[in-house]
Structure formats: C-alpha cells, structure tokens
Amino acid sequence: MDRPRDGPLALLLLLLGHVITALEVPLDPKLLEGLPQPPTITHQSPKEYIVDPRENIVIHCEAKGKPHPGFSWTRNGTHFDIDKDPKVTMKPQSGTLVIDISGGEKADAYEGVYQCTAHNELGTAVSNNIVIRQSRSPLWSKEKFSPIVAQEGQSLILHCRPPAGLPPPIVFWMDNNFQRLPQSRRVSQGLNGDLYFSNVLMEDSRNNYICYARFPHTQTIQQKQPITVHVIDMDSLNDTMADYFNDTDLFSDKPVDERPPSFMVPSGSLSSTMVLRGEVLEMECIADGLPTPVVSWTKLSGEIPGHRASFQNFNKTLRITEVSEADAGEYRCTARNRHGSVHHTIRVSVKAAPYWISAPRNLVLAPLETGVITCRARGHPKPSIRWSMNGLPIEDAPKDPSRKVEDDTIIFSEVQTGSSAVYQCNASNEYGYLLANAFVNVLAEPPRVLTPPNKVYQVIMNKPALLECLSFGSPVPAVTWFKDSRSSMLDGDPYEIHKNGTLQIHVSQAVNSGKYTCVARNNLGISENHVYLEVKEPTRILRPPDYRVVHRNRDVLFECKVKHDPSLVPSSTWLKDGGELPDDERFRVDSDSLTIKDVTESDAGTYTCVVNTSLDQDSASARLTVVGQPDAPTDLELTDPGARSVQLTWTPGDEHNSAIKKFLIQYEDALHQSGVWHNLTEVPGTKTTAHLKLSPYVHYSFRVLALNDVGYSRPSMPSRQYMTNPAAPDENPSEVKGQGTEHNNLVITWKPLTGLQANGPGLLYKVMWRQQDVEEEWTSVSVANVSKFVVSGTPTFVPYEVKVQAQNDYGHGPKPAAVIGYSGEDFPSAAPDLVQVVVVNSSLAEVYWEDVPLRSVRGRLQGYKVHYRRERSLHRHNSHHGEQRTESFGPNRTSGKIPNLHPFSVYSLHVTAFNARGEGPASTTQRFETPEGVPSVPSFFRVSASDLDSLTLEWGPPHERNGRLTGYTLRYQTVNSSHDLGLLEELDLPSNHSSVTLHNLHHSTRYKFYFSARTQRGSGPAVTEEAVTILDRAVVSPQVDIATQGWFIGLMSAIALLILILLIVCFIKRNKGGKYPVKEKEDAHGDPEIQPMKEDDITFGEYSDEDHKPLQGSRTLSSGTIKRDGSDDSLVDSGDTQFNEDGSFIGQYSGRSERDAAHESSEPPSPINAMNSFV
C-alpha cells in the first residue's frame, strides 16, 4: 500500500476503536446458547510437535461456535481423509485426531505438516501448521579408542560427538561407576559436549572417561566407549618410547614450560553468532595455558544485562536469557594468567521471528454499522501480512463491497446481514510465522443485561463502589442509571458511568446505600436490572499492640481492640515475622489479645494482628524484644603485673538484647578470707579491661559480673591467683576515740584494720595517751587482736590526747594524728536551786530553777530533769494518787513546761541535774494546785421509762469532775422519719439530781438528747442518746410504723394467749414440785441502791429501778424489747440462797406459802408479764 494512505486509515481506526471494543461477544454461556457465532479455535497442538514413537499420536484441535463447528484436516497441503485410515479417529464433538500405533505401525509414517479446519454456516477457522516429527535417539557408532598419552602440563580435548537426535540429547561425562567427573577452572565441559583440559596433571590419568547422552523424549541414556588417558612426565615418556625405538630419547628431558593463554574454543580472534529474540544466547571461551587461565567477559558496545545474564562453567560461558534487540553487539572474552592474556571478540546479531503488536480481535457488528480488524506484528526482518477469509486467500474470496483491505487492516462499512465470516491473518518472515483467526459476526439483537438481578454490592465507607451493568445487544446498548425513586438519571459527581456500563462511586458514603436501576437501550428494545448497594463502616484497630520489652520467663500481652460494622463478622489472625505463630501451647490467642507465657528469646520478633471481614481488613504490628540478664564474662586474663597493680581483661557474654551498663570486678583473698568475695571496682559496659590497684600481702583471685537493665549476670570463672608481697601498713586504725566508763578510767577504742589493710603478718596496735596540757611524755602499749584498751586510775573527767598506730613485721604505719578524749564522769554533786512553779492553767504549769555550779557537774552536763507526781484531787470523792512522771530539758535551760496536768489537783515536783553517769541530788520538793477545768462526760446517761407523752432520763456524775459540779445541761429536739431535726430545747438541772421526767411530749415521736455536766469553768463534752415516746401503753415499742399495724397486734395477741396457757401449766407443776424458788429476794426486799442493768439488756443506756420501777417481774425498754430483770428465777443474783448437801435449795425461798403463790397467779394476764415469763 502507498504510504500517504496511512493517515486516513489511522484516523478511521481512532474513530472506530470504541465500536470494536463495545461489540465483543460476551462469555455468558446462557447468552452464547442463543447467539449465532462463527467458529473460534480454542485449543491446538504446538507448531513443532515431536511425538514419542512408543505412544499414540494425539493432534489437538478444539473449537467453539454456534452452530457447533465441523472439523476437517489437511496433511502436507492436501485433504487428509481420516475415513480411509482405520488407525486414525477423530474425537466426538471435537477435531482432535488420535492415531493408534499400538499395533506395530511406525510413527514416522505419519510425519508431516497438519492443519485443522473448523467450520459452520457463518465461517471457517483454521489452526496453525502443526509439524509432526518422531523423536529419535540413534545409537552411538561402534568405535574403538586407543589410549591417549599426554605430557603433564599440556592441554587436552576429549571429544564426545553424540549422535544427532530429535530433540538433541543432553550430554554429560561420568566414569563407569556413574559418578560425575569433577570439573573445575582447569577441566570443564563445552557447549558441544567435549571435555576440555587447560592443562593436564598426573591425577588426570584414568581409563574410564565416558560421555553419556540422554534423550529426553524417550528417557533413554546412551554411552560412548570409555576413553583412556595416560599423563606422564618427560622421564617416563622417554623410558616408554625407548622400549619401542631401541633406547632412543624421542622427547626432551625438559618439563613443559609455563605458557600464556590461548583459546581452544572458539578459534581465531573474531567470531559471530546469531540469536532470535526471546531465546537464550550462550557464548563460551575455553582457553589452555599454564597456570590455568582466568576468563572474564565485557561488552564493547554497552553493558551486559545484569538481571538476565549469568556466568557459568567457571566463568567460561556467558548466558543471556530472553534476548532482545538491545543485546546485539560485540562481546569480548579475555583469558589471563601470569604470563599474559588473550582476547576473542564475538559479534552477536539478533533476529526476530514475528511477534504480535496487536493481534486481530473478533468483531460483532449490527447491520449497517462500521468496524475494523487490525493485524499488527513486528519481526526482523519485517514480517509480511497475508489475509485469508474462511481459509481462502482473500484475493480468492467472494467479493464484498462493504470490505476493504488496507495492508494490515480490514475496514468494514455498512455491513449487511449474512456477511459474517472468519478472517485469518498470517504474519511471516524467514524465522517463523504467526496465524490468528478473527471473526466478523453481523447480528441484530435487542439489549440484554447480563448482570444477575437483585445483586447486592457491599463496600466499605470512603472506598470506591463499582456497580456492574454488563449488557449485550447489537447495536451496542446505551446504559443509564437511576437510584431509588428513579426521579433523575445519575450523571456527574459523585457518579461516573464507564463505557462498559459500570457505575462507579468514587468515595462511598452511607447516603449512597440503596437500590439502583440500570437501563440498557438500543433501537431494538430496552432491558433493565436492579442492584443494591450497602455501605459499611470500616474495620479499624482502635487499640493496636504496643512495642514491648519483656524479661525472659515472664508473660507478655499484646492487645488488638477492633471496631467494625455490626453486620460484618471479623476474624483475627496473629502473625509472627509475617508467618504463622509457632505451634506452642504458650501462645494463647483470645478474641482481642495475644498472650505469650514464659517468654523465651526465640519469641522475639514482630507480631502482627490482622483483622479481616468479607470486605476489608486492618492490621497493626508491634515489636517484641526479649531481654535477659547478660551471660557471664569469659576468658579472664591477667597482664602487666606490678607490685601493687595488675591489668585484667575479659570477653563479655551475650547481652540478651539489653546493653551492658557496667562490669563489677570482685576479688577473693585466699590468704585471709578464703571463699568470701569483695567488690573491688566497676568499669563502664563499653570497656573490657581494667587496671586494678592492689594491696600487699594478699592472694588475689578475680571474677567479673556484667550488669544490664535486667540485672547482674552470673559471675565469671575466677582468674588465676595473683599474690602480692608483704609491706608495712599503709594506714592506721580509724574511728579512734577516748571515753571513760567509770569515774577513774579512760577507754581507748578504734576500728581494727582488715586482713587486706594489714599488708603483712604480725599486726599490732601501738596505743599512746597523755593528759592534755599536763603531761609531756606519751605513755604507750602495744596490743594485738583487740579494738580497745582501758587506762585505769585517771582523774575524773579530764581531757587526754590519744593516738593508735598500726605496725607489723615489716614496719610501722604512718604517724597517727592525736584525738582528744575524756576520762570517766561522776554523778553531779549539787542540786538546782531556787525552784519555783507558776501554774499557767488547769493542765499546764511552768517550772524555773538556777544552773548548778559547773564544778559540781563532774562531767559534761547533759540537762535537767523535772520529776512530778499527782498527789490527790481536790474533790472529796476522788483521792487518786498518780504515778511519777518526768520531763527532760537541755543543759542550757533554766525553765520548762509541764503539760497534760489534771485540773483541780495537788502536784509535787523536784528538779535534778544529770550527765552521762546519771542524775545528781534532787532539789527541794515544791507543791502546787491546778485550778478547776471542765468536767468529763457523765458516767452514764439513759432513758429509764417511756410513756405516751413523757420520757424519764437518768444519769451519773462524770468520772473526772475536774472541779465542783454546778449542774447539768440537757438539750433535746425531735427527729422525723427523714432524719430532719426540730427546734432545740434546753434545760438546766441541779448538780444533786440524777434523773428527770420530761412531760408534754408528742406521742410516738423520736427525740434526740444532748447531756453534759458543768463546773465554774464551763460545760464539758456532751453525751447523746435517742428515745421514742410510745403509741399505746400496752405495747412498748419505738417502731411505730410496725406496732400500729393490725397484723402485728393480732400476732402479739395470739402469742400472749399461748404464753398464758403455758404459764398456767408451769404454775401447776411448780406447786407440785415445791422445793425451788419462784420469786427472788428483790421481790420481798426492795434494793435501795442503784442497780444497773446488764450491758446486753439496754438500748438507750443503763438505768436503775430505784425511782421508776416497772411492773413487777418485768422491765420495758424504750426500744420495745422486753427483758428479764434480776428478779427472775436465777442462781446468779440470789446472794442469800443456800444449798443442802444433796444440792436442793434451803432458806427463805423454800418456805413460800400457797397464799403467795395464789396471789401471784391472780395477777392479770397482761402481754408484758406473759412475755417476761416466757423469756
């Protein structure tokens, strides 16, 4: 075609491209069943088909179409009539041929070029030319090889020359034990199968060099006759040849000299090779030389492609895969040894069999529509394009005015019904061909929506949503979308309708959920479909796992808290370092966490929580670092020994993921304290050496401990022992003191030196002392194994200068410094004078005195002590005598305060001075009185009787009156059911009263009382109590809300009747029994003294029955609980009861008259008495 026509053609292709794409036949099987379609080849055998002669030949050809296509074959260009050959069959509904050669027929009889044709009424499709060839594995020709004799150092080639097979065999060298021969830079196999020796060695001598050829299709291996190689040196070679030639040396005695490299393959300095695009390029350079050369490769016109190139066979072979045109050029291999180098250039050209740029595609057109089929291919040289229609060259095909061929393009204009056909495009050059079928199917079809109806799409919020509306029709349908009520067509933001009808929502939101309708229209009809979109909340990890640093053998917890859409079911998976968790019971996975028990170092890594739903996923990772105590240092070594120093080095142990902060160096003194380790020094964790300062006369062993954030390591193994020589002491004892323990002695003490400080044997202490400013000469004494010395006969409390010096068998320690000490103290000899007492208030007094003379202290004055005692109370009812108490004051004080005194009391006191030995004589005794104070709380306060509108209160005077009582204060107020307080009433009572009755109170009302005692100084603390006036005299109970209920009154009446019956029975039996008391002493003789109740029997404090006695034989408390008082039949309170020898009662209770009993039983049966008797 002429070049100027390419411009309009390109424009036409641009205009028609969307039509071609839109009219592709869909793959929906249900749709295909109803549509006519020309044949399409779906499966065929490869172009080059090598068959195994031992198996049946199967030539594949499968095709589809509507109606289903029929099949026929050609062989070597002519029709192949399969009906004439009983060995050839065609599979049903298929074009696949099966050639049965199991009966002894030879496969080579069916070799040739086969082509399959699939046809129906709409057109014909053809397969590639399939070349059938039988695989061959010919035998090696019979050869007999003479032994090869080679001089040591020479090069050698052992030829393989395998028989030509189909496909070519794979060659390798082995010995007769089927062991591969070792290969190296010196000995290697070439691409042609030959075995190359750059130089031979004596060890290369063997008689079993065997070349094997493996034929892959038949899986057979054939071997060449073994080759024998003898490698000899020159002396052996001359001796051997002399046996044949009358002792004549044929070779020089000189060994083979070393030589520069030269190429055995390829030959010359320049060669060329051709390779096809997409295939594998292999180039080799094998050189001889002594010593063995080294081969390298370069590309002269560019770089060798690193990702596709590899160097094999000890760098002798350069292999490039997937060759492209860019790999063409000149490659240079270089062989070098120490004697020189040699080069060879390989010129590579790259050709290309045809390959597709744009293969033709099927085209579906409606009547009167326009379309294009394009067939574009490249190759080197450029391939030629040939068109066919239904298997015939297009020149020979029926003319069609709607069809126009333009080189690699066929243009269809205003096609007519019945012009469907299959077109073949053949692109070929000298290196191969490409064949493709593409049909043109002219259809008139109304729209059909292929997307399943009512399909539900689910998408995550803020993600794009794609709602499909796959449709088919001819002409191509136009697709529109509506939502919910179909009020308006969806077009524009946020919606986008793609050419295939898919509706895209770029950022989905909750408002986008709902029902969507797609409508497909063409001029032949309309079709619609409904789909649904659900927008879900995203899955998010709210609390991801955190980076953790954990000690070994502890537990670790990784959290993974997730938020997800309620309608989605999440599943969690934990990964370790991107893989599955170890199969270990220590790993426990819960719904939102991962727990690892007893962590080990192997558990360290990255843990990832992956949460999946059916729509999305989220993941979060955290690193686990397992730390532990460092391992013990090792390899302790002592260097640079000195008289008092040594260098220690060591090797640190494993840090276990926690950096070593420092090293602790300890020592053991085997001479003085064997088995005891002491800290010597510390060095930073970055150092592994330490210069140690040592002491004399020590047998050292050292060990090292490492410390990190977890803790100390185990100690290292001890170093070898290092002994230092003795020397005089370097220091004297510390903490030297002089202090007397008696009035005539001085005790000198010191802190003794340790064995490490002694510096040598024979340690002594020279103790020296003299009286300060009195004696000039020092008195001294040497002692051993002690830490004190007592100087006797000293004056009392005088200063002394004291020194202690260390010495051993090798000399004295340094000159010691003197310290000042004092001899012992004696008791002070004088008492403080002019002692006076000033009373500040009822509980505080101040004492004054004068200093004692300094000479009378006879020691160091430490202070004064005031001893005081409460002699009695000024109240006539209280004559308490208190214990003596003491207050101490400093030596510079001449006064002091005495706190916590009892008011209204008489005290006595005296003052003494004291030093370290003790107290001196006491001063003159002083007496003083404390004024009145406020009294303490009353000894008791209780409600003794309760009535409808009155309450009787009783109390006792305070235990600590602290003065003369002037009266009592009573305040009270009502308390309602919500605990609100009423108006406060106040009443002053005389001091000689012990009870009071409050009248005109509200019935069934709770009152709160505050009661306190008074002196002239004021009122003391108050005691509080609560009580309730009763609702009914027959029922004494503060619980008005219960006692007023009808059911409670009925219950109590029934109980009273039952108790009354029981009492009558008991009285009858007691009258018959006779000899035990029925009334206590208190009933016959009233007790004039106050008789308090037992603590367990009260509710509002204790009260006596002296002034307000209840009914005989009972007491009624304000709480409504009825208790037995002391007048019941009791052995505890009947003090006058006597017993006979047999244990029976005697006395006044046994002589009770029947009249008394009758009188007692005639009392009215009140509920109170009945309950009291029952209890």
User: Mean pLDDT across the chain, nearest whole number?
Assistant: 85
Contacts of 675 (CB under 8 A, 6+ apart): 668
Contacts of 105 (CB under 8 A, 6+ apart): 87
Identify the band that residue 1116 occupies on the pLDDT scale cut at 50, 70 and 90. Answer: very low
Q: How many CA atoms lie within 13 A of 172 on its CB side?
A: 13
When pLDDT is averaged across residues 722-742 and rounded to a whole number, the result is: 93
Give the span between the Cα atoms of 461 and 615, in whole angstroms.
Answer: 11
CA dihedral over 658, 659, 662, 668, signed as positive or negative: positive
When pLDDT is averaged across residues 451-480 and rounded to a whole number, the result is: 92
Identify the band that residue 28 occupies on the pLDDT scale cut at 50, 70 and 90. Answer: low
DSSP string covering 619-665? EEEEEEEEE-PPPPPEEEEEES--SSEEEEEEE----TTS---EEEE
Give the span between the Cα atoms of 602 and 599, in whole angstroms.
Answer: 8
Contacts of 730 (CB under 8 A, 6+ apart): 695, 757, 759, 813, 814
List for the chain the helix, strand, coil content (%; round to 5): 10, 45, 45
* Helical residues (DSSP H) of 881-966, grouped into ranges: none
| Helices 1046-1073 and 1167-1174, packing angle to 10 deg | 60
Identify the band that residue 138 occupies on the pLDDT scale cut at 50, 70 and 90. Answer: confident
The angle formed by the CA atoms of residues 707, 712 and 716, to the nearest 5 degrees, is: 95
Per-residue pLDDT at 722: 94
Burial of 527 (0-12, 13-18, 19+ CB in 10 A): buried
**Between 978 and 449, residue with greater pLDDT:** 449
Identify the band that residue 1032 occupies on the pLDDT scale cut at 50, 70 and 90. Answer: low
Residues composing the chain = 1175
pLDDT at 406 over 80: yes
Please provide residue 442's backbone torsions phi and psi, each rounded to the nearest 5 degrees. Answer: -95, 115
Q: How many CA atoms lie within 13 A of 97 on its CB side?
A: 26
**Between 300 and 978, residue with greater pLDDT:** 300
Per-residue pLDDT at 662: 96
DSSP string covering 658-713? S---EEEEEEEETTTEEEEEEEEEEEETT--EEEEE--SS-EEEEEEEEE-SS-BP
Query: Is omega for the bond preceding 733 within 30 degrees of 0, making it cis?
Result: no
Per-residue pLDDT at 826: 93
Name the least confident of 728-737, 1057-1066, 1078-1087: 1078-1087
Portion of the chain with pLDDT greater than 70, in percent: 84
Per-residue pLDDT at 222: 87
C-alpha torsion 1024→1029→1030→1036, nearest 10: 20
Give the span between the Cα atoms of 569 and 1161, in whole angstroms.
Answer: 85
3-class state of residue 385 by DSSP: strand
**Between 745 and 1050, residue with greater pLDDT:** 745
The angle formed by the CA atoms of residues 545, 550 and 552, to the nearest 5 degrees, is: 140
When pLDDT is averaged across residues 128-146 and rounded to a whole number, the result is: 87
Give per-residue pLDDT as tens, 549-594. Answer: 999 999 999 999 999 999 999 999 999 999 999 999 999 999 899 9
SS (H, E, C) 465-485: EEECCCEEEECCCEEEEEECC
Nearest Cα residue to 1015 out of 907, 936, 900: 936
When pLDDT is averaged across residues 886-915 and rounded to a whole number, the result is: 94
Per-residue pLDDT at 1155: 37
Per-residue pLDDT at 24: 54
Residue 1064 DSSP label: H
Give per-residue pLDDT as tens, 868-890. Answer: 999 988 887 555 667 899 999 99
DSSP string covering 242-282? HHHTTT---S-SSPPPPEEEEEEES-SSEEEEEEETTS-EE
Give the span between the Cα atoms of 349 and 276, in whole angstroms.
Answer: 9
Give the span between the Cα atoms of 526 and 508, in whole angstroms.
Answer: 29
For the record, the structure tokens of 886 come out as 């003491």
When pLDDT is averaged across residues 242-269 and rounded to a whole number, the result is: 70
Give per-residue pLDDT as tens, 831-867. Answer: 999 999 999 999 999 999 999 999 999 999 999 999 9
pLDDT at 418 over 50: yes
| Helices 1046-1073 and 1154-1161, packing angle to 10 deg | 170
Name the least confident of 103-107, 505-509, 584-588: 103-107
Give the number of other CB atoms < 10 A from CB of residue 905. 23
CA dihedral over 1154, 1160, 1164, 1167, signed as positive or negative: negative
pLDDT at 297 over 70: yes
Identify the band that residue 1069 occupies on the pLDDT scale cut at 50, 70 and 90. Answer: confident
**Between 909 and 1077, residue with greater pLDDT:** 909
**Backbone angle region of 1052, left / alpha / beta, with phi > 0 → left and psi within -120 to 50 → alpha:** alpha
Give the span between the Cα atoms of 1060 and 1164, in whole angstroms.
Answer: 10
For the record, the structure tokens of 542 come out as 């709210």
Per-residue pLDDT at 236: 61
**Backbone angle region of 76, left / alpha / beta, with phi > 0 → left and psi within -120 to 50 → alpha:** left
Give the span between the Cα atoms of 962 and 737, in whole angstroms.
Answer: 54
* Cβ pair 97, 414 in contact under 8 A: no
Identify the band that residue 206 occupies on the pLDDT scale cut at 50, 70 and 90. Answer: very high
Which amino acid, residue 883? Answer: E
Q: How many CA atoms lie within 13 A of 721 on its CB side?
A: 10
Alpha carbon of 95 to those of 116, 118, 126: distances in Å?
7, 8, 11
Give the span between the Cα atoms of 62 and 717, in whole angstroms.
Answer: 81
Portion of the chain with pLDDT greater than 90, in percent: 69
